[in-house]
Amino acid sequence: MQLLIIILAISLIVFLFCLHVLAKEDLIFVRKNITMEILFNIAFYTIGIGLLCSRIVYVIEHFSIGFLNPLVFFLFPYFPGLSLAGGVGGALLFTLLYRAKKYPNGRIFDFFSMAFLAALPVGFLGQGLLLGMRDRFSGIFMPIIFLITLIFFVKILLPLNTRGEIEDGSLGFLFVVVFSLTTLISLIVRANNFIGLVMQLDVILLVILLIFSIIMLLVKEKHISLKKPNRGDN
């Protein structure tokens, strides 16, 4: 239990630190008068919603009568069980739907995604240590994959976004695509029963997140349009 709290605390610190480093001098945030205090407030709202959704999905998938006790439900460090897919899905919806003062949700989503991408290696490595490194794919290879992805995002994609060559929100959806696909591959590699794996709620959510993010990424980059064509269009 103590190790789980330490892992979550370190991951949170990494997330907030990277968010501060990436966003502190962003010109769009400066023009919109979005201070780091405002950004951190939204981040804490998002983290709270993500944790709640993560717990709800886990409880649905592993339902026990004991979870009806509010103390058992909310004290997840003492009664562990969180769904990473549920947390990402909940945080994604909240970030996109949050409409306070017409903030640039797409750009906020991009920076939250990159900061979360920085925290994922810590989380997976910590989980690997917690489980005694029985699953080396999740404990070693997943952190490496996400770390390389983070470097690619920050060094290649973020400058393209800053120059306007990539739309706001696209980096966030691309992150969800990478996260969903990598996690699905990891589950498939370790699965002993493929039919049972397909029926898991986490897997279903990951597939939904993957398809949704691919569609939104194509929409953002204007490869497809959700608008109905005018009758006069050819």
The torsion region of residue 25 among left (phi > 0), alpha (psi -120 to 50) and beta comes to alpha
Question: In angstroms, what CA-CA distances link 218 with 108, 149, 167, 174?
Answer: 19, 20, 11, 10
Measured between alpha carbons, how far is residue 193 from residues 74, 190, 200, 207 in Å?
31, 9, 11, 18
Mean pLDDT for the chain overall: 87
How many angstroms separate the most distant Cα atoms in the chain? Answer: 65
How far apart, in whole angstroms, are the C-alpha atoms of residue 104 and residue 108? Answer: 6
Tell me the pLDDT tens digit for each residue of 39-52.
999 999 999 999 99
More confident residue, 205 or 97: 205
Asked whether the beta carbons of 49 and 24 are under 8 A apart, the reply is: no
* Tens of pLDDT, residues 163-188: 889 999 999 999 999 999 999 988 88
pLDDT the model gives residue 127? 78
Contacts of residue 39, defined as CB under 8 A and 6 or more positions apart, other chains included, come to: 19, 23, 29, 108, 111
DSSP for 27-76 reads HHHHHTT--HHHHHHHHHHHHHHHHHHHHHHHHHHT--GGGGSHHHHH-T
pLDDT in tens, 140-149: 888 899 999 9
How many Å apart are CA 185 and CA 206, to the nearest integer? 11
Nearest to 60 by CA among 201, 223, 181, 171: 201
Question: pTM for this one?
Answer: 0.88
Distance CA 113, CA 117 (A): 6
Rounded Cα gap, residues 76 and 53, in angstroms: 13
Q: What pLDDT is recorded for position 6?
A: 86
User: Using an 8 Å Cβ cutoff, are 7 and 80 in contact?
Assistant: no
At which residue do the structure tokens 């502190």 appear?
24
Which band of pLDDT confidence, cut at 50, 70 and 90, is reported for residue 139?
confident
